[in-house]
Structure 1
Amino acid sequence: MSKSTYINLALVVCAALLLMLALACSSDSEPETVSVKLALDWYPNSNHLGLYIAQNKGYFADENLDVELYTPVDPSTVLQTVGAGQDDFGISYQPDVLMARAQGVPVVSIAGMVQHPLNSVMALKSSGIERPSDLVGKKVGYPGLPTDEPLLETMLKADGANGLGDVELVRVGFNLTESLISGTVDAVVGAYWTHESILLENLDHPVNILKVQDWGVPDYYELVLVASEKYIEEQSDVIERFTRALSKGFADAISDPQAGVNILIDASNQEVDRAIEGPGADLLVPLWKTDEANFGVQTNARWVGFASWMQETGLLSQEVDASKAFTDEFIK
């Protein structure tokens, strides 16, 4: 065999080795596509803009994730389905996560999606109710959620009233706006100031809003992204990819919330009311990223402080280690 033949053969072998190495590196750097399922807390709305933007703009696809977003028939089951592994991710609420963990459901918050409470006490401006003490002797409607009465009692006491005994509670379910307009009640607790207040304003019934954190209730995260302890242990790479894409989606929502609303309307298979979700998105922008924290950030102080309040008010069936109810591992 001639010298030139040896050289040519060596070049072919080197080229083959380089190709194999390149393919191996490509395989290592390009994770396989993973299908994940996320259960929403409610029908698609402005709280979810970052999710739908990440879906629409291919941020999930860029992370090799095939993401299904859906609303369960019964959204109150989200923590149970996530804890049982039937859903990979879910959207829920900080109080609910703590109550679920008290009952042994192994769910963990991996991102604080809305940095402050949306829950509020709401009354028509024409009622003259401007602070909790103005509720004394009045009828207050509530949905019937576990947190309704402790929130209201804390607010009343913070403003010098004796507590729930000073008001007449009327269970109205989720007919909060209807019960206010009809005069069935004088005020409601459990209404979102980014939703019901806009709906009422659009119906020519402007309201006064009493935010829970302004009247004695410890600050907390309204919406949180959750996964199970098992999923966090076994699929940390998937969670990192998911939260990276989600953060990009919410960065876009913060920059241009109305473009996000357009995407939400186009993507949702359910009716979305632009007249509510448009203004709602504008109100949410400073809650997705605050002066103190970037999107998704959670603190131990916030979790421990709110859990202590829940313990004091009897919302927790047993003591919960709040520091284990969340992780800051995946939000950079």
Structure 2
Amino acid sequence: MKFGVNRIISFVVFIVLLLPVMACDGQDVSDIEDSKEKGVININLALDWYPNSNHSGFYMAKENGHYTESDLSVDIFTPANPEDVLKTVGAGKDDFGVSYQAEVLLARAQGIPVKSIAAMVQHPLNSIMVLKDSGISRPSDLAGKKVGVTGIPFEEALFSAMLEYDGTKPENVTIVNVGFDLGPALLGGKVDAIVGAYWTHESIAMESQGYEISVLRMEDWGVPDFYELVLVASEETLQSKPGLVKTFLTATQKGFSEAANDPLKAVDVLVGFNPEIDRDLEIKGIDLLAPLWSEDDVVFGTQNSDRWKQLSDWMKEKGLLEDHVDHQEAFTSEFIE
């Protein structure tokens, strides 16, 4: 769900470049009224991974002055360990963070007090990927084949659901834990398919190397249609600083709207802040992503109880989530207009 082709190598390189910047993270947000008297409210926004087109709306909001005109100074950064985003947000070290719908539910099962305040991507990005010339066009074609996975239980449960939906038992497939070397495992012939890579990123990266890739999207094969990425805040922030949350989200919505309306400019802004990323890849990626930010005319950030319930119930049925977790407590829509 979180990692894919060469992401570990790319992330290590990116972190080395970011070390001087990261030294300044970790500030707590001060009280809104006191901060306004001082002029500017400092905000930390922790990303789920290194900056890419998924995050372009944040950078557009920053570039176009939507944060500063709201008296916000937003530090957008990648944590040393992105898996800790929900912990640092829940503890108040970071004010907002980018995470995943399933991870929010799992965090709440562990008592981490975080909530989703906006859905960033309306559909799953995780997928099954195969070489186009493999002849594999549906999950059942993977019977008797080798499939590379990262070892993340949630992803394996997603894959099993796709197989069962298409009439194939998971035991008919050989699972190979390739860690986060998904792309090399597929391109090198170690496996016949991979699960855990984004069809808006890794497929493009592999095709740029001269390989044709076919993608099987999860929601087409029996998996609940979940929100891939969500924006999160702590319960404490939501209760004590609702004005700050609303102000930040309003500015962020403007940034994503502008990014969707002018994707090429959005990528150029993204690269301007992060010159180490692959511009050509992100241009192709944002063309796939932008329609998912506000599909079917819903505004950016929209999320509803039915989608949260469907995923929560499915995770409980698969033994991934404890029964006591209340999906209604995992998100709020009060700050989205």
Shared topology, TM-score over 0.5?
yes
Residues 150-192 of structure 1: CA deviation (Å, up to 9, x unaligned): 0011000000012x21111111111111111100100000110
Give me the whole-angstrom Cα distance separating, in 2, the residues matched to 1:109 and 1:35: 21
Equivalent position of 2:320 in the other structure: 315
Equivalent position of 2:193 in the other structure: 187
For 2:56, the aligned partner's letter is L
For 1:169, the aligned partner's letter is I
Q: CA deviation at 1:207?
A: 1.0
Match of 2:221 among 210, 215, 218: 215
- TM-score, normalization by structure 2: 0.88
1:240-259 matches, within 5 Å, as: 240-259=246-265
Structure 1 residue matching 2:144: 3-state secondary structure:
coil
Q: Larger deviation: 309-318 or 249-258?
A: 309-318
Match of 2:161 among 145, 154, 171: 154
Equivalent position of 2:63 in the other structure: 56
1:109 maps to 2:109: no
Give me the whole-angstrom Cα distance separating, in 2, the residues matched to 1:137 and 1:84: 46
Equivalent position of 1:176 in the other structure: 182
Q: CA deviation at 1:329?
A: 0.7
1:231 maps to 2:240: no
Contact 1:103 1:317 in 2 (8 A): no
Structure 2 residue matching 1:165: 3-state secondary structure:
helix
1:58-207 matches, within 5 Å, as: 58-162=65-169, 164-207=170-213
Q: CA deviation at 1:117?
A: 0.5
Match of 1:271 among 276, 282, 301: 276
For 2:161, the aligned partner's letter is T
Give me the whole-angstrom Cα distance separating, in 1, the residues matched to 2:334 and 2:153: 30
Give me the whole-angstrom Cα distance separating, in 1, the residues matched to 2:159 and 2:324: 22
Question: Structure 1 stretches of 5 or more lacking a match?
Answer: 1-26
Give me the whole-angstrom Cα distance separating, in 1, the residues matched to 2:154 and 2:217: 14
- TM-score, normalization by structure 1: 0.89
Give me the whole-angstrom Cα distance separating, in 1, the residues matched to 2:218 and 2:233: 27
Give me the whole-angstrom Cα distance separating, in 1, the residues matched to 2:75 and 2:114: 20
Structure 1 residue matching 2:226: 3-state secondary structure:
coil
Equivalent position of 1:3 in the other structure: none
Structure 2 residue matching 1:59: 3-state secondary structure:
coil
Q: CA RMSD in A?
A: 1.4
Equivalent position of 1:42 in the other structure: 49
Q: CA deviation at 1:292?
A: 5.0
Give me the whole-angstrom Cα distance separating, in 2, the residues matched to 1:76 and 1:144: 15
Residues 229-286 of structure 1: CA deviation (Å, up to 9, x unaligned): 0010011111111000000000101101110000000112x61101211100000111
Give me the whole-angstrom Cα distance separating, in 2, the residues matched to 1:89 and 1:50: 15
Structure 1 residue matching 2:295: 3-state secondary structure:
coil
1:291 maps to 2:307: no
Equivalent position of 2:334 in the other structure: 329
Give me the whole-angstrom Cα distance separating, in 2, the residues matched to 1:199 and 1:154: 27
Equivalent position of 2:18 in the other structure: none
Q: CA deviation at 1:293?
A: 1.7
Equivalent position of 1:18 in the other structure: none
Q: CA deviation at 1:146?
A: 2.4
Q: CA deviation at 1:327?
A: 0.4
Give me the whole-angstrom Cα distance separating, in 2, the residues matched to 1:323 and 1:293: 20
Give me the whole-angstrom Cα distance separating, in 1, the residues matched to 2:41 and 2:188: 50
For 1:102, the aligned partner's letter is A
Residues 15-68 of structure 1: CA deviation (Å, up to 9, x unaligned): xxxxxxxxxxxx9xx775211101100000000000001111111001110110
Give me the whole-angstrom Cα distance separating, in 1, the residues matched to 2:74 and 2:334: 21
Residues 103-125 of structure 1: CA deviation (Å, up to 9, x unaligned): 11110000001111000000001
Residues 50-105 of structure 1: CA deviation (Å, up to 9, x unaligned): 00011111110011101101001110000011011110000000000001111111
Give me the whole-angstrom Cα distance separating, in 2, the residues matched to 1:114 and 1:271: 24
Question: Structure 2 stretches of 5 or more lacking a match?
Answer: 1-32
Q: CA deviation at 1:318?
A: 3.9
Structure 1 residue matching 2:129: 3-state secondary structure:
strand
